[in-house]
Structure 1
Amino acid sequence: MSGTEIKASVLHGANDLQVEVRNLPAPAADEVQVAVQATGLCGSDLHYFRHFRNGPIEVREPLTLGHESAGVVVAVGSSASSTLKVGDRVALEVGLPCESCELCREGRYNICRGMNFRSSAKAYPHSQGTLQERINHPARWCHKLPDTLTLEHGAIVEPLSVAMHAQKRSGLKPGSTVLVLGAGAVGLLCAAASKVAGAKHVVIADIQEDRVKFATDNAFADAGLTVPIPTVRPETVEDKLAYAQRVAESLKSLKVKGGDAVIGEAAVTFECTGVESCMQTAIYATQPGGKILIIGMGMSVQTLPIMAASVKEVDLVGVFRYANMYSEAIDLLASGNPLLPDIRKIVTHRFNGLDQIPGAFDTAARVKDDKGDLVIKVMVDMA
Structure 2
Amino acid sequence: MATKVKTSVLHGAKDLRLEIRTLPPLSPSDVRISVKTTGLCGSDLHYYNHFRNGDILAREPLTLGHESAGIITSVGSAITNLAPGDKVALEVGQPCEQCHLCLHGRYNICPEMKFRSSAKAWPHAQGTLQEEIVHPGKWCHKLPEGVSLEDGALVEPMAVALHALRRARLEEGAKVLVFGAGTVGLLCAALSKVVNKAKVVIADIQEERVNFAVEQGFADEGLVVPRARPVMIEEKLRFSKEVAEMVGEKIGLVGGTFECTGVESCLQAAIYATAPGGKVMIIGMGNPVQTLPVSAASIREVDLVGVFRYANAYPKVIELLADGLRSKLPGLNHLITQRFTGIESIPNAFEMAGRVKDDDGNLVIKVLVNM
Q: TM-score, normalised by structure 1?
A: 0.95
Equivalence for 1:124: 122
* 1:300 has 2:288 as partner: yes
Cα distance between partner residues in 2 of 1:238 and 1:26: 58
| 1:96-154 Cα shifts (integer Å, max 9, x gaps) | 00000000000000000010000001111111100000000000000000010110000
2:241 counterpart of 1:248: no
- Which runs of structure 2 are paired with 1:348-359 in the superposition (5 Å)? 348-359=337-348
Residue 316 of structure 1 is matched in structure 2 by 304
Which stretch shows the higher mean deviation, 149-158 or 195-204? 195-204
In structure 2, give the amino acid aligned to 1:240.
K
Structure 1 gaps of 5+ residues are 255-262
Partner of 2:3: 4
Residue 196 of structure 2 aligns to a residue whose secondary structure is coil
SS of 2:360's partner is coil
Query: C-alpha distance in 2, partners of 1:284/1:198?
Result: 23
Gaps of 5+ in 2: none
2:334 corresponding residue in structure 1 = 345
Residue identity (%)? 61
* 2:161 counterpart of 1:163: yes
Give, in whole Å, the separation in 1 of the partners of 2:124 and 2:313.
25
Give secondary structure in 1 for the equivalent of 2:295: helix
SS in 2 for 1:160: helix
1:77 is matched with which residue? 76
- Corresponding residue for residue 321 of structure 2: 333
1:283 aligned residue (271, 278, 284):
271
Contact 1:153 1:344 (8 Å CA) reproduced: no
Q: Which amino acid counterpart does residue 31 of structure 2 have in structure 1?
A: V
Distance 2:6 2:103 in 1: 37
Whether the aligned pair in 2 keeps the contact of 1:6 and 1:133 (CA below 8 Å) is: yes
> What CA distance in whole angstroms lies between the structure 1 residues aligned with 2:3 and 2:33?
12
Aligned: 1:360 with 2:349? yes
AA in 2 matched with 1:361: F
Please list the CA deviations of residues 207-259 of structure 1 after superposition, one character each: whole Å capped at 9, or x if unmatched.
000000010000000000011113xx3221111100010111011101xxxxx
Quick one: distance in 2 between partners of 1:172 and 1:353? 42
Point out the more displaced range, 271-280 or 335-344: 335-344
Partner SS, residue 197 of structure 1: helix
CA contact (8 A) 1:10 1:17 kept: yes
Q: What residue is the counterpart of 2:84 in the other structure?
A: 86
CA distance in 2, matches of 1:280, 1:39: 34
**1:200, 1:112 → 2: CA distance?**
31
How many residues end up aligned between the 2 structures?
370
Q: Of the candidates 95, 104, 107, which is equivalent to residue 106 of structure 1?
A: 104
> What TM-score, normalized to structure 2?
0.98
Distance 1:343 1:136 in 2: 30
Alpha-carbon offset, residue 78 of structure 1: 0.7
Aligned to 1:201: 199
Matched, 1:376 2:365: yes
1 CA distance for matches of 2:62 and 2:240? 39
User: Structure 1 residues 331-340 or 276-285, which shifts more?
Assistant: 331-340
Give the counterpart letter for 1:24 in structure 2.
L
Query: 2: CA distance between counterparts of 1:151 and 1:26?
Result: 25
Task: Work out the CA distance in 2 between the residues paired with 1:237 and 1:55.
Answer: 22
Aligned residue among 227, 230, 249 for 1:234: 230
Deviation at 1:341, TM superposition (A): 4.0
Note the 1:112-191 alignment, pairs <5 A.
112-191=110-189
Q: For residues 13-32 of structure 1, what are the structure 2 equivalents within 5 Å?
A: 13-32=12-31
CA displacement 1:309-329 (0-9 Å, x = unmatched): 111100000000000000000
Give the drift of 1:336.
Answer: 1.1
Partner amino acid for 1:16? D
Residues of 2 paired with 1:339 and 1:316: CA distance?
30
Residue 33 of structure 1: aligned partner: 32
Residue of structure 2 in register with 1:58 after alignment? 57
1:246-298: per-residue Cα shift (whole Å, max 9, x none)? 111011101xxxxxxxx101100000000000000000100000000000001
Question: Structure 2 CA distance, aligned partners of 1:56 and 1:131?
Answer: 23
The Cα offsets for residues 192-211 of structure 1, whole Å up to 9 and x where unpaired, read as 11011233410000000000
Q: Structure 1 residues 9 and 143 mapped into 2: Cα distance closer, same or farther (>3 Å)?
A: same
